[in-house]
Structure 1
Amino acid sequence: MSLSRLVPSKGTRVLIIPIQSRTAAHAAPAAAAVKTGDEEPSFFQKIALRFQGIPLKGEAQRPKTMFDDLDKEFVPPEPLPALPKDFKEGPERDLANFPYPARSMYPPKTRLLMVPDSWCTPFHKITGTSGPYLFYGGLFAFLVNKELWVFEEQGHMLVGWLIFYLLVSRAVGHKLDASLYKGYTERMNYFKGLIQEDLKDAVEFRKTSAAETESLATVKEAFPTILKENMQLQLEAAYRKNVSNVSNELQRRINFLKETEEAKTRFERDIMLKWIVNGVEKQTQDSKDFRLKSKARSSVHQSLLWPF
């Protein structure tokens, strides 16, 4: 966790010691009296007992405070996954000169609660172990003396804020680390699920391809026979199609001749009926005309013979 970089897990620790106005001789009897329950502890004694984790009068269990979890470190169940050594996002990636940065599991080592250890180790070869402390102390004194680093009226509050920051980070830092690690694992599992869903189709295609390859290898030996049978089936289908075409053509021509004969017979019948009808009508008309002429002749003879 980034909050724990200012305080190492082992080494210097922050201790809060309550200061009382009484002397040590008066404090010992008071503590003994509180333990035996003879008298009620004062306000400052209650605070001191709270910091020490001693239950007060009338409390059956030891009180739980934020200082119980002080200086705890979160240890993940498994390390963070690293990139494969041969992974490249492009063929032109130079992994020899520009490798991928490794994600550290724990914060780097520090000195004086805030100074990185990598800033101090280069001085050891020349000045020894005390060199970096003298250098940074002298640099701080130089900046303050020359007023390059100016403290304002509220600059002293920085010390209190730093103490508060260190106290909170060491007290609840491991809980925040556990929460962040849990969120990280859940997000990684979510992306792994997406990858598995994307690869599901590829896996199915791979299985199908393997089955098709196996079936093709099985059929490969009998492939000439299969081609021969397919050719025979095609020839049989072509023969049946030709026979069907010939049958349809013959049927069409027979139907045409039948329709032609029926039309010819019907035409002859119509002509014969028309000729007969016309003959009958002509004969009827001739007989009618003959009667009219005969009648006219008889009337003429009568008119000629009337005067006599």
Structure 2
Amino acid sequence: MFTKITRPLISNGSLPLSFLYRPLSISSVFFKNTPSKTDDKSLVEKKTDEKILRVEDSLKDLSSIKWRTEHNGKRLWPHDQWPERDLVNFPPYKLREAPNAVRWYFVPESWFKFFYDKTGVTGPYMFFYGLIIYGFSKEYIVLWYDFTEYLILAAAVITVVKKVGPMVGDIFRGWHQEEVDRYTSVVNNSKAMAGKMLHGYEESLERAKSVGKLGDARKDIINMALETAYRERMRQMYEAVKRRLDYQVALQNARKDFERTNMINWITSEVKKSITAKQEQDSLQACLNQLRQMASSSR
């Protein structure tokens, strides 16, 4: 870290070597003068200027790159910005959920498959035992006095792995499954929330499709209300006019009744005034004579 900071300063010749290596020397600490505040300020300013230049250069480099987000309708990740990459022979790295299959607790399964294609089923086993025999014959594997300890240790390891291995594996798989469930629960919750939002958006779109029909219905309702108000006012006007006309008719009828009654009373009174007592007696005697004639004729 110190060399990274001092290298550009030494190359530029801005600081002397005595100042750069002053903290490394005891004599420079106790017997030499400390740097002034102006030197510290100039050093800080130069460092900030260099950082700004580096950041500007990096931004220029990034701005010159035209990042692509999609290619042929497929989303591109940061490591897939260039579709010319050979994704078949050099696919992007993916973390495996489980390790590769092995035999004998440490030999990869791919090695056995490689021998199956070349030598058949017995090839890897013959290679393994032949390699052991070759090691013994060339004394690469020396049968020393502690060889039995190795055999006992191997047997103990195999026994522990067979007895304790499944339990430990279950514990680690449980931890791994808890982590996976934690992350998948977050993803599933996000998917569920997104599904609810999409369902709500779809319902909103369906409701938006019927906005025109709703507007037409509201227009019809308003027109019906206006028609009802118009008819109600027409009825009120008809009733008001009818009441006035009925009043005029009743007034004329009352006037005519009054005039007829008054005329009848006047005529009756005038007639009564014109009839004398002798005329009444004569008319009464004439009526009696007519009644006698009618009675005699009926016999």
- TMscore range, shorter length: 0.3 to 0.5
Higher RCO (CA < 8 A, seq sep 6+) = 1
TM-score, normalised to structure 2's length?
0.34
Which structure: greater helix fraction?
Answer: 2
